[in-house]
Structure 1
Amino acid sequence: MNLKAVKEMITQINEDTGIQIIKGNTKAPTPNPPYGMYNITSPYIKGRGRGAVTLHDHESGPYEKRTEEYKFVISFSIFGENTETAIELAHKVRQWFLFLGEEFIREKDLVVSSVGNIQNRTVFLVDDYEYKFGFDVQFRAVDEQIRQIETIEKVEITNLGG
């Protein structure tokens, strides 16, 4: 999984929407609402088959490349001071995946496979509500592995017929 591309995508969402989005499930203090939080809930969902292995020639020698398509899911929760703010900001971030961020995502060699519905994720904490609404985004990506291979350049065969 390309975690660098995910981090760059989160930075781009912040720049394009003005909504601060932080990584979830950390011990870092959370900012005051409004803000967003993301969690990679499924880092690897196997695709069909075993992947494709191809042979390639290069100046440094021949190599094999294994290519495999897989999916991963990122869950977004948007926190607000009230329900209306949380819904509005969640909608804004969801729209980023459907239109504004389309080219950026493509440049990172990712494809948005599906964008889920916005759901109420509000919880009651001790004496107050934590207003949050969120959705999941499923991506398709390609994993590549390369290994050098050795070849036999020339074979000399002698004494074939005895």
Structure 2
Amino acid sequence: MIALEDIRSLIVQGLSTHVGKEVIEMNGGIPVGGYLTYDFSDGFHSTRGFPVVTQGSDKLVKMETVQFTVTFLSYDHDQTSRIQNALMARDWFKTVGHTALKEKVNVVVVKIGSISNRDIQVNKEWERRQGFDVQFRTVDIVESDLEWIEQTNIQRS
């Protein structure tokens, strides 16, 4: 199983400390001042091939590499602050965050997208934001009880 809550928690705490802004889930309660949002945008997908299946003691273990993307958006009162906060967030994934994710939750940063204007009009108001995407890889490990065939009837032809 993917430790999603551990991954989310590490990203939120690390970015919040590094950027000095609150980091919230997209479509969450809006804080006062500048802030960052995140969204696990496209789910978890197998990268390629089949899972590795092993058995040990009474467990069947399936391991496969999965990829996922998280979108980060920076909100603030002016464009320079929005871009600066997004740049600081990107830097965290290139340095401290890259190492922390790999060592603490077994997640590798694969690709960090470029920062782009992601302004959106909601009714008559504009949400001014700058954002980028980050692709990650991790290992999905699923354990289940090993089922033994105790007895069977064999028919000869």
TM-score with structure 1 length normalisation?
A: 0.81
Q: Distance in 2 between matches of 1:45 and 1:152?
A: 33
| Structure 2 unaligned residues grouped into runs of 5+ | 151-157
1:135 corresponds in structure 2 to 132
**Could you tell me which residue of structure 2 aligns to residue 11 of structure 1?**
13
Taking only the aligned residue pairs, the percentage that are identical comes to 27
Letter in 1 for 2:31: P
Distance 1:49 1:123 in 2: 38
Gap regions ≥5 residues in structure 1: 154-162
Match in the other structure for 1:119: 116
- What is the alpha-carbon distance in structure 2 between the residues aligned to residue 69 and residue 123 of structure 1? 34
1:25 deviates by 2.6
Q: Distance in 1 between matches of 2:48 and 2:113?
A: 22
Runs of 4+ displaced beyond 4 Å: 124-129, 150-153
Map of 1:11-160 to 2, 5 A cutoff?
11-26=13-28, 28=29, 30-57=30-57, 62-106=58-102, 107-124=104-121, 129-150=126-147
Q: TM-score, normalised by structure 2?
A: 0.84
Distance in 1 separating the partners of 2:11 and 2:70:
11
Does the residue aligned with 1:101 lie in a helix, a strand or coil?
helix
Q: Point out the structure with max Rg over C-alpha.
A: 1
RMSD: 2.3
For 2:154, the equivalent position in structure 1 comes to none
